[in-house]
Amino acid sequence: MSKTTLAFLGGDPAFSTALHVGRPNIGDRDAFMRRVEEILDRRWLTNSGPVVTEFEEKLAEQLQVSDVIAVCNATVGLELATRALGMSGEVIVPSFTFIATAHALQWQETSPVFADIRKHDHNIDPLAIEALITEKTSGILAVHCWGRPVDIEALNVVAKRHNLKLLFDASHAFACDYHGQPVGGFGEAEVFSFHATKFINALEGGCISTNNPELAEELRYMRNFGFRGYDDVGFLGTNGKMNEISAAMGLTNLESLERLIAVNRENFDSYQKAFADFPGLQFLPAPENDVFNYQYVVAEIYEEECPLARDELIDVLWEENIFIRRYFYPGCHRMEPYRSQSSTNDRQLPETDAVCSRVLVFPTGETVNGDAIRQVSGIMFQAIEHAKEVKLAIEKRSNA
């Protein structure tokens, strides 16, 4: 499996077509095209059309909740939910997440207060939350990072004890269970992303799921400018609607859910095998005994045991056209506008910093298979065999 020369050291790239994290999964193309034709014939393109309604019904079934509100993306979904739940002042949130989680709060003029994570699953640490609660705290926005559910029971206890709203960013966790129950029905509401890179994609899109019909009704009005009926605007709203083509894509992909889990699962297992003896590399395990979507293959590189640092491995792989990623480096608390805020810039988040320095996310999904995975591992083994030359080449480049 070893190539003659690493691209980083002057050879040709291993992959002529780039290997990406987040390459979209695409279900039955014919079914999608049929739906698109019907949408065009119907000339009903958005504003709660029949395909969006069908998508919402199927999602509610899948998530086992009373209500699902489809939205244009998860960021807007989080903004809508934050507002509808009356969250204001400060909301406690992990820093180790995609920046959208924090921005959605800040966009609603609510300050994200960053909590540290647990090393073993990269999720918010319930024990870190209580120390951050002040009289301004109105809620907790927890993220099911990489699809692994947070410790929902512990968060329920903290939220109840301090009378806080509990909202979940479930962007990664579609088709993932917590103790046998689908993520989607916990807390006040949960928000999923159907962005192109997500397990189920609707091109762009998202949804809010809840078991509170009154909250759902308010969210439906809010996503449509606050309209409660014809010419009747009841309160401040925005445009958070999903369009019909997005819903058609979402519905079509939903029909392939079992197959997509199987593909991801097989890739996940291939990665564990191919890297079993790689020094200093540890994969985040899948949750035991629960349904899981395997959408993110996440590893950590422990520099003291690996001949190359995490970022050196990234440099080598990118030259081979293998675009592994170091999500969510350097953590939201080290990005603007949060970095410059006095409340944030002295915050110590040691686990977040450590995980940010170690994480590597590998490509998976339909466009990746066992052969590609073995090739990726072959290159990484070759890179550590030639660690000295790689380090020298990096030094030369930085001095050039």
- Contact stretch for ligand T4K (CB under 6 A) within 87-95, 167-175, 333-341, 349-357: 167-175
Q: CA-CA distance, 362 to 284, in Å (whole number)?
A: 12
Least Å distance, CB 204 to ligand T4K, is 6
206: contact with ligand T4K by CB under 6 A: yes
Q: Which is nearer to ligand T4K, 193 or 210 (CB)?
A: 193
Among 3, 23, 265, 391, binds ligand T4K (CB under 6 A): 23
Least Å distance, CB 104 to ligand T4K, is 7
Among 6, 7, 21, 102, binds ligand T4K (CB under 6 A): 21
- Contact stretch for ligand T4K (CB under 6 A) within 30-38, 194-202, 271-279, 384-392: 194-202
Q: CA-CA distance, 338 to 104, in Å (whole number)?
A: 13
171: contact with ligand T4K by CB under 6 A: yes
101: contact with ligand T4K by CB under 6 A: yes
Paired residues of 224 in beta bridges: 239
Paired residues of 90 in beta bridges: 111, 137
- Contact stretch for ligand T4K (CB under 6 A) within 130-138, 191-199, 231-239, 345-353: 191-199
197: contact with ligand T4K by CB under 6 A: yes
> How many CA atoms, within 13 angstroms, populate the side-chain half-sphere of residue 241?
18
Contacts with ligand T4K by CB under 6 A: the residue count is: 23
Token pair 């049929």 in the structure block, residue: 34
Token pair 């994609």 in the structure block, residue: 201
- Contact stretch for ligand T4K (CB under 6 A) within 193-201, 279-287, 301-309, 329-337: 193-201
95: contact with ligand T4K by CB under 6 A: no
Report residue 230 as tokens.
């014809």
Q: CA-CA distance, 392 to 262, in Å (whole number)?
A: 42
Footprint of ligand T4K on residues 347-366 (CB under 6 A)? none
- Contact stretch for ligand T4K (CB under 6 A) within 93-101, 121-129, 277-285, 377-385: 93-101
Please list, in sequence order, all residues whose beta carbon lies within 8 angstroms of the beta carbon of residue 324, skipping any fewer than 6 positions away: 21, 313, 314, 317, 318, 360, 361, 362, 363
243: contact with ligand T4K by CB under 6 A: no
DSSP state letters, 330-392: T-GGGSTTTTTSHHHHT---HHHHHHHHHEEEE--STT--HHHHHHHHHHHHHHHHTHHHHHH
Among 195, 310, 334, 358, binds ligand T4K (CB under 6 A): 195
DSSP state letters, 192-213: EE--TTSSS--SS-EEEEES-H
- The most distant pair of C-alpha atoms in the chain lies apart, rounded to whole Å, by 71
Q: CA-CA distance, 121 to 144, in Å (whole number)?
A: 9
Where does this chain bind ligand T4K (CB under 6 A)?
Answer: 20-24, 73-75, 97-98, 100-101, 143, 169, 171-172, 193, 195-197, 206, 323, 327
